[in-house]
C-alpha cells in the first residue's frame, strides 16, 4: 500500500455540488498519479503493477492480477495547484476563468487570516473594493467608487435589507458566520435586480457536511489598540441526511486611539450574533431553514472639542477603556429567517427561496433619558426568489426566474428623518451561456418594476402618521412613485493561449431612488446633517464596458481589469449654501439635499504575483477610479466618496509547508500605500483633498498539528507598525470639528494595532 501525501494549494473552491465536484477532482488526480507511476518505469522500476491491470472504465486496480513480488519505493511530495474556482455565474455555477464579468473570490483561509473589526473591513483589501467608515466599527462597501444602495449584499441566498441608505449604517452580518465571499464588480449580475449597479457581494455560509460527519469549531482573538475581544462557537453535522449548523459569536471593543486624538470617545462597540441552520438533504434536492439574529451596539463619534486644549470632549468620569455604552449610541437588531429549497428536475435544478427580515435601528441621545430613543426605525422585508437552472445541452445553459421583495417601514421614535412607507418590487430575468471550444459566451436580460408608497406625517402631531389630506403643516407629504427599468449584459471569455485568457463584457445597470433620497426631512444625528430629500429624482441607469486579461504560470500570475462606466441621473448629496457662500443651517445643523447629474467613471485593477523560488511570493495590486460629473463647474466636477488610488505590495515566505508539528508557517510583510486624492467634490466645502499615506503591516501564522491532524491555527499581525496618523478619504470622521490648537480637521483613523487569533477545529 502506498500513502501519497497530496497537498492542494492555490485558490480554494466555492462549490455548489460539493461532493460531486470533489469526487471528480480527486478521482482525476489519483488516476493521473497512478498512470504516471505506471508509465515511469525508469524512475520507479519497483512498481509491481502491470499497466494492463488498470481498468480505465472503473478506475480500479485488480489485485488478483498483480505480480507476486512487492517492492517499496518512497514517493516524493509534490504540490498540485487548482485554479478551477467555481463562482456564481449568470447561468449557475461556472469556472472563474470562464466568467466574462470581473469577479474576485475571497476564500475561507483568507478571511481567517485577515484581522478586522467587521465583515466589510475583512474584504476591503481586495482590488477595487473600498469602505466608507465611521470609526473602526462601521463600514459600508464601495465597489469601483460606487456605494450605498448601488451595492447589493447577498447573505443566506437573499439580499440583505437593513436601511443601508444611511451613511453610518453598516452591514448586519457577523464575520464569523461567513465562509467565503464572491465580489461581482459591475452591473453584469442579472439575478439581483435594482441596486446592483456597482456590483454584488455574495457572502457564502459553510457548506453542509458529508453524511456521518460532525464537527465543532472554536475561535477567539484580541486586538491591542481598541481592546477588541471576539469569540465564536460552532457545531455542525449531517446524520442520515438531517443537517444542522449552529453558531454563536460575540465581540466587544472600547474606544480606539491614534497619535493625534488619543482615545476617540464614541468609537466603542458590542456585537452578538446567533445563527441556526436546520434542514434535510435528500436524493431529489434539499430543504434548509436558516434563522439568524444579529445585535450591534456602536457608539456615535461626534468629534466635539475643547476650544482651549483642542482635545476631544468626553463626559466626566469617562474611562477610555470602558466596554459600556457611550452616549450617544445606536442599537441595531436584525432578525432573519430563510427557507431554501432546491430540487433536481432531471439534470436541471429548480430553486425556491423565501425570506423574512426585520431590522430595527434606534439612536439614543439624551443623557437625562437614556432609555428613550430619538430615531427609531423598524423595517420589515419579505424576499422571494424562484428560478430554474437548466442542464448543459451541447454547450448551452440557460436560467430564468422571478424575484423581488415587499417592505414596510415604520417610525416608532420621537424624532423623524424619513417617512413610513410601503414598497413592492419584482423582476423577471432570463440568461444563457454557450461554450464553443475555448470560447465562452454569456448574456441575459431583466425587467424590474418597483412601486413605493410614502405616508404623510403632520408636524403638530408627529406621533400619528396620516395617509392623506390637507392640513396646516406636514413633516412628510404622502406620495406614490413607480420605477421600472430594463437591464442586460453580454460578454465573452476566450482562452487565447493556455493559461492566458481574454474577457469582454458590456452591461446595463438600473437603480431606483431610495426613500432617503426621495423624502428625508430631519436631523441625522449619526451624520451630523439635516438631510432633505427630492421627490422629483429619476432612476439611475448606466452602461459599463469591461476588459480583462489574465495569465498564470508556475512562476508568475498577472491580471488586469479595465472598465468604463457611464451613469445617467447619478444621485448624490450636496451641502447647501446661501448667497454669501455660507452653509445653510436648519436646527443649527448644516443642511444637505439630494440632487442628480450625469457621471462618467473610468478605472481598473491590476495585480501580479511572482513566485521566483519555492515558498516565496511577491505580490502587487493597484486600484484606480476616476469619477467625473459631466457638465459641471470645477468645484462640482468629481463625485463624492471616490476612493484614492491604492497600491498594495507584499512579500510572503512559507518556512514550513508540511511539517510534523507546523504546517503553512508563513510571514508576510505588506506595504499599503494610498495616494493623494485631489479629485474630490469641493462644492460648498462638502469634501476636501486627502494627502497620501503609507501603512506598514506584518502578518504571520501557522497550523499546529498533532498526530497528522490540525490541532489549531495561530495568526499574529501588526498593522500600522509606524503608528502613522492618517485619514482615509472615505472616512466620515474626517469632516468633524476643527482642532483650534493644531488646525487639523476631523478625527483620524486607528493607530498601531497588534492582534492575535486562534482557531481550534474539532472533528467528532
Q: pLDDT per residue over 374-394, tens digit each?
A: 889 999 999 999 999 999 898
Query: What are the grid coordinates assigned to 182, written together?
Result: 464572491
Q: What element of type H or E holds 17?
A: none
How far apart are alpha carbons 539 and 514 in whole angstroms?
10
In which order are the strands placed within the sheet that holds 199-204? 103-106, 180-185, 199-204, 151-155, 158-159
Find the length of the chain. Answer: 764
Task: Tell me the residue ranges of DSSP E strands in 56-198.
Answer: 60-61, 78-81, 86-89, 92-95, 103-106, 129-134, 138-143, 151-155, 158-159, 180-185
Q: What element of type H or E holds 26?
A: helix 18-39
Share of the chain above pLDDT 90, in %: 66
Are the beta carbons of 599 and 639 closer than 8 angstroms? yes
Secondary structure of 141-163 in the HEC alphabet? EEECCECHHHEEEEECCEECCCC
List CB contacts of 327: < 8 A, sequence separation 6 or more. 315, 364, 365, 366, 367, 370
DSSP 165: T
* Least confident stretch, 43-47, 75-79, 293-297, 594-598: 43-47
Are the beta carbons of 289 and 260 closer than 8 angstroms? no
Please check the confidence at residue 430 and state whether its pLDDT lies above 60: yes
pTM of the model: 0.86
* Least confident stretch, 92-106, 442-456, 551-565, 727-741: 92-106
Query: What are the grid coordinates assigned to 197, written together?
Result: 449597479
For 409-514, where are the alpha helices, taking DSSP H only? Answer: none
Could you read off the pLDDT of 117-173 as tens digits, one per residue?
999 999 999 999 999 998 888 899 999 999 988 999 999 999 999 988 888 888 999
pLDDT, position 185: 92
pLDDT, position 77: 43
How far apart are alpha carbons 115 and 668 in whole angstroms?
13
732, 736, 739, 745: CA torsion to nearest 10: 50
How far apart are alpha carbons 365 and 417 in whole angstroms?
15
How far apart are alpha carbons 490 and 530 in whole angstroms?
42
pLDDT, position 524: 78
Please check the confidence at residue 74 and state whether its pLDDT lies above 70: no
Neighbours of 554 (CB within 10 A): 9
Alpha-carbon Rg for the chain in angstroms: 27
How far apart are alpha carbons 740 and 58 in whole angstroms?
80
DSSP 175: G
442 DSSP β-pair partners? 433, 491
Beta strand pairing call for 78-81 and 6-9: parallel
* Least confident stretch, 105-114, 438-447, 581-590: 581-590
Please check the confidence at residue 653 and state whether its pLDDT lies above 60: yes
Q: Tell me phi and psi for residue 30, to 5 degrees.
A: -65, -40
pLDDT, position 460: 61
How far apart are alpha carbons 608 and 212 in whole angstroms?
42
Concatenate the DSSP letters of all residues of 657-705 into one string: SS-SSEEEEEEEEEEEEEPPB-----GGGS---B--EEEEEEEEEEEEE
Q: What is the largest CA-CA distance in the chain?
A: 102
Concatenate the DSSP letters of all residues of 485-534 into one string: EEEEEEEEEEEEETTEEEEEEEEEEEEPPPHHHHH-EEEETTTTEEEE--
Question: Could you tell me which of 714, 712, 702, 661 has the C-alpha nearest to residue 217?
Answer: 712
Question: Could you tell me which of 429, 430, 519, 537 has the C-alpha nearest to residue 483?
Answer: 537
List CB contacts of 462: < 8 A, sequence separation 6 or more. 414, 416, 475
How far apart are alpha carbons 54 and 65 in whole angstroms?
10
Could you read off the pLDDT of 24-63 as tens digits, one per residue?
444 544 444 444 443 433 333 333 333 333 333 333 333 3
Please check the confidence at residue 78 and state whether its pLDDT lies above 80: no
DSSP 112: H
For 71-183, where are the alpha helices, taking DSSP H only? Answer: 108-113, 119-123
How far apart are alpha carbons 524 and 590 in whole angstroms?
10
* Least confident stretch, 53-62, 422-431, 740-749: 53-62
What average pLDDT does the segment 596-623 reach?
A: 94
pLDDT, position 472: 52
Are the beta carbons of 504 and 547 closer than 8 angstroms? yes
How far apart are alpha carbons 336 and 292 in whole angstroms?
5
Q: Percentage helix, strand, coil, to 5, in the chain? A: 10, 55, 40
Query: What are the grid coordinates assigned to 359, written together?
Result: 431590522
Amino acid at each position: 500500500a502506498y500513502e501519497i501525501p497530496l497537498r492542494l494549494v492555490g485558490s480554494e473552491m466555492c462549490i455548489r455540488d460539493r461532493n460531486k465536484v470533489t469526487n471528480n477532482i480527486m478521482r482525476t488526480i489519483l488516476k493521473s498519479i497512478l498512470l504516471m507511476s505506471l508509465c515511469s518505469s525508469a524512475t520507479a522500476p519497483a512498481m509491481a503493477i502491470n499497466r494492463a491491470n488498470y481498468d480505465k472504465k472503473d478506475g480500479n486496480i485488480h489485485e488478483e492480477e498483480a505480480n507476486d513480488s512487492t517492492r517499496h519505493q518512497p514517493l516524493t511530495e509534490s504540490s498540485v495547484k487548482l485554479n478551477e474556482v467555481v463562482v456564481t455565474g449568470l447561468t449557475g455555477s461556472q469556472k472563474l476563468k470562464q466568467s466574462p464579468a470581473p469577479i474576485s473570490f475571497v476564500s475561507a483561509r483568507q478571511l481567517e487570516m485577515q484581522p478586522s473589526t467587521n465583515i466589510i473591513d475583512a474584504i476591503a483589501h481586495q482590488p477595487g473594493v473600498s469602505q466608507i467608515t465611521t470609526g473602526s466599527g462601521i463600514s459600508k462597501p464601495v465597489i469601483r467608487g460606487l456605494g450605498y444602495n448601488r451595492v447589493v449584499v447577498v447573505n443566506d441566498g437573499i439580499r440583505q435589507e437593513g436601511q443601508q441608505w444611511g451613511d453610518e449604517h453598516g452591514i448586519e452580518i457577523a464575520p464569523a458566520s461567513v465562509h467565503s465571499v464572491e465580489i461581482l464588480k459591475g452591473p453584469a449580475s442579472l439575478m439581483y435586480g435594482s441596486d446592483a449597479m456597482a456590483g454584488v457581494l455574495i457572502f457564502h455560509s459553510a457548506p453542509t457536511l458529508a453524511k456521518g460527519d460532525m464537527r465543532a469549531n472554536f475561535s477567539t482573538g484580541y486586538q491591542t489598540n481598541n481592546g477588541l475581544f471576539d469569540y465564536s462557537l460552532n457545531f455542525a453535522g449531517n446524520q442520515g441526511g438531517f443537517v444542522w449548523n449552529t453558531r454563536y459569536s460575540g465581540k466587544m471593543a472600547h474606544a480606539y486611539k491614534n497619535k493625534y486624538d488619543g482615545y476617540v470617545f464614541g468609537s466603542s462597540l458590542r456585537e452578538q450574533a446567533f445563527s441556526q441552520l436546520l434542514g434535510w438533504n435528500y436524493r431529489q434536492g434539499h430543504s434548509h431553514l436558516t434563522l439568524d439574529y444579529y445585535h450591534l451596539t456602536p457608539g456615535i463619534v461626534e468629534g466635539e472639542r475643547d476650544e482651549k486644549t483642542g482635545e476631544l470632549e468626553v463626559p466626566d468620569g469617562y474611562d477610555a477603556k470602558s466596554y459600556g455604552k457611550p452616549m450617544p449610541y445606536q442599537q441595531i437588531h436584525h432578525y432573519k429567517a430563510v427557507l431554501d429549497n432546491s430540487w433536481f428536475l432531471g439534470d436541471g435544478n429548480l430553486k425556491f427561496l423565501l425570506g423574512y427580515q426585520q431590522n430595527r435601528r434606534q439612536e439614543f441621545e439624551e443623557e437625562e433619558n437614556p432609555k428613550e430613543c430619538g430615531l427609531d426605525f423598524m423595517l420589515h422585508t419579505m424576499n422571494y426568489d424562484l428560478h430554474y437552472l437548466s442542464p448543459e445541452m451541447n454547450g448551452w445553459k440557460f436560467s430564468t426566474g422571478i424575484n423581488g421583495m415587499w417592505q414596510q417601514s415604520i417610525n416608532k421614535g420621537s424624532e423623524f428623518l424619513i417617512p413610513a412607507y410601503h414598497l413592492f418590487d419584482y423582476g423577471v430575468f432570463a440568461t444563457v451561456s454557450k461554450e464553443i471550444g475555448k470560447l465562452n459566451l454569456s448574456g441575459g436580460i431583466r425587467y424590474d418594476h418597483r412601486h413605493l408608497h410614502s405616508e404623510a406625517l403632520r408636524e403638530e402631531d408627529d406621533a400619528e402618521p396620516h395617509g392623506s389630506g390637507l392640513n396646516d403643516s406636514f413633516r412628510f407629504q404622502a406620495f406614490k412613485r413607480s420605477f421600472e427599468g430594463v437591464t442586460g449584459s453580454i460578454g465573452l471569455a476566450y482562452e487565447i493561449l493556455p493559461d492566458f485568457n481574454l474577457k469582454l463584457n458590456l452591461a446595463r445597470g438600473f437603480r431606483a431612488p431610495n426613500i432617503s433620497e426621495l423624502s428625508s426631512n430631519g436631523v441625522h444625528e449619526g451624520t451630523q446633517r439635516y438631510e432633505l430629500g427630492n421627490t422629483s429624482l429619476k432612476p439611475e441607469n448606466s452602461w459599463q464596458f469591461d476588459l480583462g486579461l489574465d495569465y498564470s504560470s508556475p512562476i508568475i500570475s498577472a491580471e488586469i481589469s479595465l472598465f468604463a462606466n457611464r451613469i445617467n441621473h447619478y444621485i448624490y448629496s450636496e451641502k447647501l449654501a446661501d448667497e454669501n457662500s455660507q452653509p445653510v443651517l436648519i436646527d443649527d445643523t448644516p443642511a444637505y439635499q439630494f440632487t442628480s447629474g450625469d457621471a462618467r467613471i473610468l478605472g481598473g485593477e491590476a495585480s501580479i504575483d511572482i513566485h521566483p523560488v519555492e515558498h516565496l511570493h511577491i505580490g502587487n495590486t493597484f486600484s484606480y477610479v476616476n469619477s467625473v460629473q459631466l457638465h459641471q463647474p470645477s468645484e462640482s466636477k468629481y463625485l463624492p466618496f471616490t476612493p484614492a488610488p491604492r497600491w498594495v505590495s507584499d512579500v510572503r515566505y512559507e518556512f514550513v509547508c508540511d511539517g510534523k508539528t507546523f504546517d503553512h508557517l508563513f510571514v508576510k510583510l505588506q506595504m499599503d500605500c494610498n495616494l493623494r486624492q485631489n479629485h474630490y467634490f469641493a462644492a460648498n466645502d462638502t469634501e476636501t483633498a486627502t494627502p497620501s499615506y503609507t501603512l506598514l503591516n506584518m502578518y504571520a501564522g501557522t497550523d499546529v498539528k498533532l498526530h497528522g491532524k490540525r490541532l489549531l491555527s495561530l495568526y499574529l499581525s501588526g498593522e500600522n507598525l509606524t503608528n502613522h496618523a492618517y485619514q482615509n478619504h472615505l472616512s466620515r470622521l474626517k469632516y468633524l470639528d476643527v482642532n483650534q490648537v493644531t488646525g487639523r480637521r476631523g478625527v483620524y483613523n486607528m493607530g498601531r494595532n497588534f492582534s492575535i487569533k486562534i482557531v481550534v477545529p474539532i472533528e467528532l
